[in-house]
Amino acid sequence: MSITEMKKELVNDIKGVDIEIATLRRRFHAKIPDIKPQEVLHDEVVDYIYEHNDKLQQILNKIKGLENIDVTDIKTECWFRSNLDNKDYYTIDLDDYYGGAYQGYRYKLIIGGENHGNLVVNGYHEDNVNDFDMVYDLGISVSGEYDAYTHNIRTMVQKYFNDWEPLEEENNIKIAAFNKYIRNHRIKMVTDVYKKLAKNYSYILDYSDGGRELYMVLMRHSDVLLTDINRELNGVDVDHEYFAICRELKELILKVKADICEWYKNVDKYVDNIAVKNIGVPDMSHHILSFV
């Protein structure tokens, strides 16, 4: 193999690592089943609530103290029970539709969960006269009408998680396994490249414009890899085997980088010294300079 071919092969190997990893990631994610985004569920729930505000207003008009509430001031909180964990209730986050998580609500209506039917009048809201939260249990006072009003909302939310939660759980397991495989595979590929580079760097470096550019590319590439490895080594959940592999690769890259740097700086000085002092046979400096 000629020096030109060797240089081309090593450069392609370096570039090929990220190309292959990107290809593997693209193929993997193309096979992962799509999951209906939770944002779509949020839109559907909020649209339904807005479309049926008149029904809620009719319910509130029948309860003393709530008849003057404007339903558009009510923040809705929807809860569901996960089939993956029947012991706990979980809420879907609709805060973006009600001014953000930290903006005080005037009224809060709870749908589903242990407090289903509670309408909370915020005691700390500037527009309310009460100093403490007041809770009205619509599930008791107008249970039939309230359950009818919330039935479709609860069904919509529960069905979403019945349909998509198991698939999301399965996807997460596959993604975790793939990420573990891909990080180990990438480490192995990079290690193979730098072992090859450690043996052959002196053949591919020169002092032409292209040679200087290759030298800078190798230095930058090594720095990027070292930054990535240090980030991995400083992670909180690095397993011992992967930690050891990262440490070995870090030491290899540091050695190769130091060797390349020393060669590039010192060989130039030696050749220059030979040329200036005309050491050796008359044409020695010419041949060395031509080779380098």
Phi, psi of 127 (to 5 degrees): -95, -5
Please indicate, yes or no, whether the overall pTM of this predicted structure exceeds 0.85: no
Would you state the pLDDT for residue 56? 92
pLDDT, tens only, 26-76:
999 999 999 888 889 989 999 999 899 999 999 999 888 888 899 988 988
pLDDT, tens only, 112-154:
888 999 999 999 888 888 889 999 998 787 878 888 999 999 9
DSSP 194: H
If you average pLDDT over residues 255-269, what whole number do you get?
Answer: 81
3-class SS of residue 128: coil
- Computed over every residue of the chain, the mean pLDDT equals 84
Task: Give the Cα separation of 270 and 276 in Å (integer).
Answer: 10
Would you state the pLDDT for residue 189? 93
Task: Give the Cα separation of 169 and 176 in Å (integer).
Answer: 11
User: By the 8 A CB rule, do 246 and 229 touch?
Assistant: yes
If you average pLDDT over residues 19-31, what whole number do you get?
Answer: 94
Would you state the pLDDT for residue 142? 80
Q: How far is CA 53 from the centre of its chain?
A: 38
